[in-house]
Amino acid sequence: MVLQKRLDYGFNGYQVPATPRATRSARRRGAIRKRVDDNSMGAFDLLATIAGKLLLEGESSPASSHTSKDQCAGTKENCLDGDKPLKVEPCDQGSCDRRIPVSDHISQGPNQSSCSKESPVHQNESSVMTTSNCSERFASDILVSGKCKNETGSFTSKIEAGSSGCREAGEFKLDGEVKTLIKDETNKSAKVLIGTGPGMCGLEDPVVWEGEPPALVSSDSSTKVPMYVDHIPQRSFPTSRDDVKVVSRDDDENSSGCTHPVTSIKYSRPAPSRIGDRRIRKILASKYWKVAPKLKDDIHSNSYRDQKPNYHNRKNCYKRQRSQMNIPFKKRKLFDRNAVLNIDEGISREGFFDSRGKGITGDASCSKMQGAAMKSSSLAGQHSSFQSRSSHVKLRIKSFRVPELFIEIPDTATVGSLKKTVMDAVTAVLGGGVCVGVLLQGKKVRDDNKTLQQTGISQDNQLDSLGFTLEPNPSQTPPPLCSGDSPRMLPCNVLQPLTRYPSGPTSEASPEPHTASLGNFIESDHDSAPSPTDMSAEKSTTDSKALVAVPDMSVEALAVVPGHRKSKRFDIGQRRIRRPFSVAEVEALVQAVEKLGTGRWRDVKLRAFDNAKHRTYVDLKDKWKTLVHTARISPQQRRGEPVPQELLDRVLTAHAYWSQQQAKQQLKQPETCLLV
């Protein structure tokens, strides 16, 4: 029996808690999360190998600072006109390398503050700080591309001009495929938000707004064929765009929770980055970057003087970028925790290559994964000229496609903040754990251990068909082969983006400005949000279609992986996004506690937050704890959204009441038990 006594408590009526549940059969809590970090990955070998042999025409990818600078300038000039809605802001002239231009821009937006603050913080945390050129570059590129797209026709030409300069610099370039992109846009319901001006169209490609809750699925992005600035015959692989679907966890869902005024970025990649929590409302379509990094034979050697410095810079950049990322706290945290290191290192040297390699544990896994996660990019590898020495293969990668990114940003955000957001997203992707995939004649080369010779990559005729892809971190989608848990994956996880849904369970919640936009998503709160897995699957499927070359694998991989993937990788180590309780939620909580008392959090949850999946009874309990604390401290000491004093008073009253009750009950309990 359960004894419930009705107390006279003034409130609606408190009830004595039912008999302690303690009696319930105890369950084993067993789940232990273990986090495994696995460094060992062989996958990367292949890349490394290639990288080692790649010769970059230009300079090393890291591009010397000056080059980068040039590039920026070039881009700017060429691509941007002042009038265009989006301007690419090149970094300040010389300073490009040093600072992230974006940040500068950002200043305008509310975000800025956060950014600035954060960055330092991160730095401290990570201990790594540096300016990065990279970020800037990316940003600029991206912007440019977007712009380019708008302009389309003209665009191309412009770019080229610019690009030429850029290239030399060895920087990344974007290509825009106008046509394709446009199409995509069409397909997508999305609208470009970013640009305000009519001219904004360019944005479209880059940024797509999705009407739907971002969390879920991005529409399949159509494949796009990247154009290469180079003019080189573009082989376009119709790679599918990676659509990334953001997976959101239930928990993450509510956007309302998002407090970040600024923007949150989600990584499109399903991958496990722990980093991201953010969910995105707006999507940036992935863009293609062009990377014109040039690698020298020796990775080590990249020590060409210039390069070397670059190397460092790059590394720094990445780190910094991370630090800067807007990514919500959680994300950052994740980053920090995880594996930042891994990735960074890789990148630093080789640029993308490394990073990926590192992240990826195994090639095979990667490829598979990639399918699942995103197919990311097609490689633009144009042609590689072929080896001068018998033993070396020269490859020139003209562009990389960036995985699709989802970005959430308030309409009120400034262009500068948008830029930054995009940059951060890109950075996150890169830094987070992009994997490099190698395609040969459209097929993925899975075996990392094979030599170029063995794979045929070194053959002249093959070079043309050699492609590289940037893939989301596999970690998310562990290859079927790997046991789900396989430690390997973990490393990848780092990257895994967390997505956050904007929607707040109880609509009431969303305090944020975005809210309006988010409003649509509210439902997503309720878990309606598709699971990442699903998304990935779909996406992958789509992608696969799009991708001519690599289709099967990806599909398969997807198919296999999907189900499990999410849960595990995702969860592992992932910290839920912070979702401050809204006043309405607090009110509901208080009311429920008044009625049910403390100690019955499950009931409270069921009663008042049954539809708020992201609020667990533990959360409610914790919230109550904090409410009690908050109620006891002076208003000046309180932080966050102010809770009406009235509620706090109720909290104290109820808390006192139930505490007393509990005490009584304890005394009586023995009897009760007997009775029962």
Partner DNA sequence: TTTAGGG
Partner DNA sequence: CCCTAAA
- Residue 123: partners with Cβ closer than 8 Å, 6 or more residues away: 129, 319, 320, 323
32 binds DNA (CB under 7 A): yes
Identified binder of DNA from the candidate list 89, 204, 251, 512, rule CB under 7 A: 251
Nearer of residues 286 and 574 to DNA, judged by Cβ: 574
Instruction: Say whether residue 264 binds DNA (CB under 7 A).
Output: no
Task: State the Cα–Cα distance between residues 425 and 207, nearest whole angstrom.
Answer: 12
Q: Which is nearer to DNA, 320 or 614 (CB)?
A: 614
Q: Based on the shown chain and the rule CB under 7 A, indicate whether residue 276 belongs to the binding site for DNA.
A: no
Task: Please state the closest distance from residue 33 (CB atom) to DNA, in A.
Answer: 6
| Closest separation in Å from C-beta 500 to DNA | 10
Residue 30 binds DNA, judged by CB under 7 A: yes
Query: Does 443 interact with DNA (rule: CB under 7 A)?
Result: no
* Rg of the chain taking only CA atoms, in angstroms: 26
Q: Which of 1, 31, 667, 674 binds DNA (CB under 7 A)?
A: 31
Which listed residue (6, 12, 22, 670) binds DNA by CB under 7 A?
22
**Strands 379-381, 172-175: pairing kind:** unpaired
Q: How far apart are CA 295 and CA 632, in angstroms?
A: 61
Binding residue for DNA, selected from 579, 595, 650, 655, defined by CB under 7 A: 579
DSSP code of residue 76: I
Select from 306, 302, 297 the least CA-distant residue to 68. 306
- What is the C-alpha to C-alpha distance for residues 280 and 243, in angstroms, rounded to an integer? 13
Long-range contacts: 5-10, Cβ < 8 Å, 24+? 7/657, 7/661, 9/594, 9/657, 10/653
Over the window 544 to 573, marking each residue x when it contacts DNA by CB under 7 A and - when it does not, the resulting string is -----------------------------x
Residue identified by tokens 């069409």 is: 186
CA angle, 175 then 78 then 229, to 5°? 25
Of residues 221 and 493, the one with the C-beta less far from DNA: 493
Q: How many CA atoms lie within 13 A of 191 on its CB side?
A: 7
Minimum distance from residue 338 beta carbon to DNA (Å)? 12
**Residue 189: strand pairing partners:** none
Decide whether 414 or 598 has the Cβ nearer to DNA. Answer: 598
- Rule CB under 7 A: choose which of 539, 600, 613, 655 binds DNA: 600
Residue of 598, 609, 613, 654 that binds DNA (CB under 7 A): 598
- In the Cβ-directed half-sphere of 428, how many Cα atoms lie within 13 Å? 43
What DSSP designation does 644 have? Answer: P
Task: Say how many C-beta atoms besides its own lie within 10 A of residue 70's C-beta.
Answer: 21
Chain centre to alpha carbon of residue 239: 21
Spatial contact of 284 and 194, defined as CB atoms under 8 Å apart: no
Distance from CA of residue 615 to its chain's centroid? 23
CB 531, min distance to DNA, A: 16
Report the nearest approach of DNA to the CB of residue 606 (Å): 8
Q: What angle do CA 425, 431, 437 make, to 5 degrees?
A: 105
- Cβ atoms 357, 387 nearer than 8 A: no
Q: Of the candidates 188, 446, 576, 655, which one interacts with DNA according to CB under 7 A?
A: 576
Report the Cα 165 to chain-centroid distance in Å.
31
Does residue 300 bind DNA (CB under 7 A)? no
Among 191, 308, 564, 578, binds DNA (CB under 7 A): 578
C-alpha distances in Å from residue 623, one per residue of 4, 91, 223, 507:
25, 44, 46, 18
Contact stretch for DNA (CB under 7 A) within 25-33, 210-218, 229-237, 483-491: 25-33
Binding region for DNA (CB under 7 A) out of 18-26, 148-156, 168-176, 260-268:
18-26
Assess 212 for contact with DNA (CB under 7 A).
no
Binding mask 614-653 for DNA (x = CB under 7 A): x--xxx-xx--xx---------------------------
Sequence-ordered list of residues with C-beta below 8 angstroms from that of 62, at least 6 positions apart, any chain: 133, 134, 293, 302, 307, 309, 310, 311, 313, 314, 348, 349, 351
Provide, rounded to whole angstroms, the least separation between the CB of residue 260 and DNA. Answer: 13
Kindly tell me which of 24 and 305 has the beta carbon lying closer to DNA. 24
Closer to DNA at the Cβ: 151 or 619?
Answer: 619
Q: Tell me how many residues contact DNA (CB under 7 A).
A: 36
Cα separation, 598 vs 581, in Å, equals: 18
Q: How far is the CB of 143 from DNA (least distance, A)?
A: 33
- Which of 1, 6, 8, 28 is in the footprint of DNA by CB under 7 A? 28
Q: Which of 142, 603, 627, 650 binds DNA (CB under 7 A)?
A: 603
Q: Does 272 bind DNA (CB under 7 A)?
A: no
Q: How far is the CB of 532 from DNA (least distance, A)?
A: 16
Q: How far apart are CB 101 and DNA at their closest, in Å? A: 33
Least distance CB 280 / DNA (angstroms): 18
322 binds DNA (CB under 7 A): no
CA distances from 100 to 28, 109, 138, 177, 438 (A): 50, 15, 9, 26, 30
> In the bound complex, what is the minimum distance in angstroms from residue 622's beta carbon to DNA?
4
Stretch that binds DNA, among 462-470, 521-529, 530-538, 593-601 (CB under 7 A): 593-601
Considering beta carbons, is residue 99 or 602 the nearer one to DNA?
A: 602
AA letter at 452: L
Task: List interacting residues with DNA (CB under 7 A).
Answer: 20-24, 26-33, 251, 257, 573-579, 598-603, 614, 617-619, 621-622, 625-626
